[in-house]
Structure formats: structure tokens, C-alpha cells
Amino acid sequence: MVSALGMTAVLGGCGLTGDSDGVTLKLVAADYGDGKDNSSQKYWDELVESYEAQNPDVRVDVTVYSWNDVDRKVRELVDAGEAPDMAQIGAYSDYADEDLLYRADDVLSIPAQADFVPQLAAAGQVNGVQYGLPFAASTRVLFYNKTLFDRAGVRPPKSWDDLAEAAEALKEKGVKYPYALPLGAEEAQAETMQWMLSGGGGYTDDVGTYAVDSPQNATTFTWLRDELVGKGLTGPVAPGRLDRADAFAAFAAGDVGMLNGHPSLMRTASDKGVKYGMVTTPGVDGESKNTLGVSDWMTAFKKNGHQKEVGDFLDFVYSEENVLDFSREYNLLPVTTSASRTMSAAPEDENLKPFLDELLLSELYPVGKTSWAEVSADVKKHIGEAVAPGRDPKEVLGRIQATAMRAGSAE
């Protein structure tokens, strides 16, 4: 993905320095904005200003990078022996495996740690210990173009068969992408997992072992190959070459009948005047029982030894007010139970309620596995082949499973 949440970004930095008697914390963060007006730099500048007013002996130096760069920049700093005190990035397990991170209970107060949404807290664990602090979350629902659906005389689908029938009707009306299936390199692992879950499968089995080539997953991708791609219902670009960003842009241009999307698509579509609806992702026999949840992570590095100051700042970051401010600014889901409860009841957040409801049923990537980065990269590279006409989904999934087992054996 461009990020775990699929956002774009710019570069910036606070440039704050601490005086000789105080402590300066360094934070590297990712940008969730789409320009200077809503850059995450503005969010952090305001939050840090508020924190420093209450804590004059602590300075917080924040550098914000694009999602295209932030994970690489942090790795370069760590490898150079210059790890920041905190990094808000897309993954954490490799640093935890290298014993570079504070545990959650090393830095967070008990109330702050207990406030995380349970699914997200669990996904932040390695061998039962939480190192990844969820920072931003999203889920997926099926977006559909109301205008195109009315023109085709179809209703929002609840099952795979419904989806295929709607796609056929949309194609007959000349819709360019009846169903957009982005299995390109940018974010293929998200669309892949969404479809796996809707077919009763997933990347792992019930005990956490990789099961990419499970019978359920093979059935899912065979159906996609035969019932959507093979019948010309996924548009002029082969799914393996269609990126998520391009699919979203096509939806905003009115060229897509339906696709899986996260909350940021609401603003993009509305800005372009697209009338859209949202429903639970269709499953093989009805609405999918599980959906994809995604989280980005805050990490706290041990190298500089500022455990107390880091913990105090992170307690401030995870206050209900600050979590709500961030979530509302970027159309994301709160990672804490208290903020989620407030958002669920607030009229101003009504458009996010479908995603909030899905969060409680969501399943996240197996990010606690240090092998996940390699497996995800292999999915991005090859999963499009599984739905290509004439290809064998079982064979493609089997090759990805072999990568997963090989990478997992080193953990």
C-alpha cells in the first residue's frame, strides 16, 4: 500500500529544540493529508504546542514524511544508530524482533493501554506482548455509484452472485469498470484479504499459521477469475495492473460501478460530485461475516532512554480529545474505545458509522509476524496472476504459500 491506510503525503519538520536543562523527544511521523492545507505537520504542530505549554521541560521535534518515504527513513535512522524516540509508521514487528522497542506497558499508563480497541491491541502483539501502539485505523465497505446503479436498474449486492449480476447489468449500460478489482502492486494485499475473508478464508488459519492456498481461498480466486475477470466485468485494465489509487480516482470520475473502499474515498467522491452508497462487503452466501481492518502504528524506541518522557507524551497523544481530532481531520477510525464510543453517538460523525460498525468485526493483517512484510510483497507481485484468464489460482496461491512458509520458518 501507499500506507496501511492508503493515504498520500508531503514532507515537513517542526525544527523545535530543547534547552540544555530539558529533554528533546524526536518523533518521525507519516502524513495523512493530501496537501499543505491538511498536512499532518499541522496536526502535530498544534498538538506539540499544546503539550509543551503544559510540560515546559520537554520539547518534541516532529518530522513528517510521505508514506512513500517514512518507513524507509526510519529504517535508515535505526541502521545509522540514530533511532528516534518515537516513530509513527506502517509496521513494527521487525523492530520488536530486534529488541529495539519499549513494550506498551513500559511507556503507557494502564488506562491508556486499556483503552485501545481490543482487535487493534491484539494485532500490535508479538508473542503475546504488545509493542505496536495502534495509531490510525480503517475498515472496508463496498462503495457503489447510485447514479449508475439506478441507470442499470440494480440494487446494492449482498452476495457474490448479486455482485456478478449487478456487474453484468452495469456493463450492458456501458460502465467502464462494473467492478474495480485493484490487485496491482500498490495495495493488492488489501483487496486480496477482503476477498479471502468474504469467502471464509484469510491469510492465516485459526491458529495463526499461514494458509494462503487454503481450499476457501482457491475457490474465491477461481470465482473471481471465472465470474468477474473472465466475463469482462472488471474494466479495461487487468486487475494485476490496476492500483488502488487509480481505482479510487476512476470511482471519483464516475467510471466505476462498485469497489471496496475505505473512509478516505468518501471525501474524494463527494468532492467530485459522485452520489455513492455504502454496504457491507458481499460474501459467498450473503453479507461477509468478516471484513478487513487496517491499522498504522506508533512505536517507542529504547535507544535514547527517554522512557518516562515518551510515556507521558504518548498518554497525551492518546487522550480522547486528541484521538478524535486526528480521526475527524483525516476521516479515519479512532483506535481507542472511548473515542469510538463518542464518535458512534455524534451526529457529525454519522458518515463514519458504517466503518465503525465494521471495526468490531474486522480482521487485521498478520502484522505481528516478522515474515509478513515479505509475504505482503509477494502478494503484491503475484496475486494478479491468480485471476488472469488461463491461469490456475491454486498454483499461484501455492507459490505465495511457499514464500510464506519459508519466511515464517525463520521467525
Tell me if 12-138+294-353 shares its fold with 141-280+371-408: yes
Query: What fold does the segment set 141-280+371-408 form as a domain?
Result: D-Maltodextrin-Binding Protein; domain 2 (3.40.190)
pLDDT of 203 higher than 60 = yes
Closest to 404 measured CA to CA, from 138, 212, 164: 212
pLDDT digits (tens, 9 = 90+) for 234-275: 999 999 999 999 999 999 999 999 999 999 899 899 999 999
- pLDDT class for 5, splitting at 50, 70, 90? low
Query: What fold does the segment set 12-138+294-353 form as a domain?
Result: D-Maltodextrin-Binding Protein; domain 2 (3.40.190)
pLDDT of 165 higher than 70 = yes
> What pLDDT score does 145 carry?
98
> What pLDDT score does 168 carry?
98
- pLDDT class for 6, splitting at 50, 70, 90? very low
pLDDT of 13 higher than 60 = no
CA distance 232 to 122: 40
Averaged pLDDT score across all residues of the chain: 92
- pLDDT class for 37, splitting at 50, 70, 90? confident
pLDDT digits (tens, 9 = 90+) for 148-163: 999 999 999 999 999 9
CA distance 54 to 5: 32
> What pLDDT score does 60 carry?
97
pLDDT-above-90 percentage for the chain: 83
Query: Which is it for strands 133-139 and 291-300: parallel, antiparallel or unpaired?
Result: antiparallel
Neighbours of 320 (CB within 10 A): 17
pLDDT digits (tens, 9 = 90+) for 388-408: 999 999 999 999 999 999 998
16-20, 133-137, 361-365: segment of lowest average pLDDT: 16-20
pLDDT of 7 higher than 70 = no
Question: Taking CA 391 as the corner, what is the angle to CA 389 and CA 392, rounded to the nearest 5 degrees?
Answer: 130
pLDDT digits (tens, 9 = 90+) for 52-109: 999 999 999 999 998 888 999 999 999 999 999 999 998 899 999 999 999 999 999 9
| 177: amino acid identity, one letter | Y
pLDDT digits (tens, 9 = 90+) for 21-31: 689 999 999 99
Angstrom distances, CA of residue 273 to CA of 33, 143, 251, 328, 362? 20, 14, 11, 21, 30
Record the pTM: 0.85
pLDDT digits (tens, 9 = 90+) for 127-147: 899 999 999 999 999 999 999
**In the chain, what are the domain boundaries?**
12-138+294-353, 141-280+371-408
pLDDT of 204 higher than 90 = yes
pLDDT of 191 higher than 70 = yes
Angstrom distances, CA of residue 74 to CA of 88, 206, 294, 312? 9, 33, 20, 22
Residue 233 · residue 168 · CB < 8 Å: yes
CB-count exposure of residue 44 (10 Å: 0-12, 13-18, 19+): buried
8-17, 140-149, 278-287, 341-350: segment of lowest average pLDDT: 8-17
Long-range Cβ pairs for the range 389-396 (8 Å, 24+): 389/225, 389/229, 389/230, 391/225, 393/218, 393/221, 393/222, 393/225, 394/213, 394/218, 394/222, 396/221
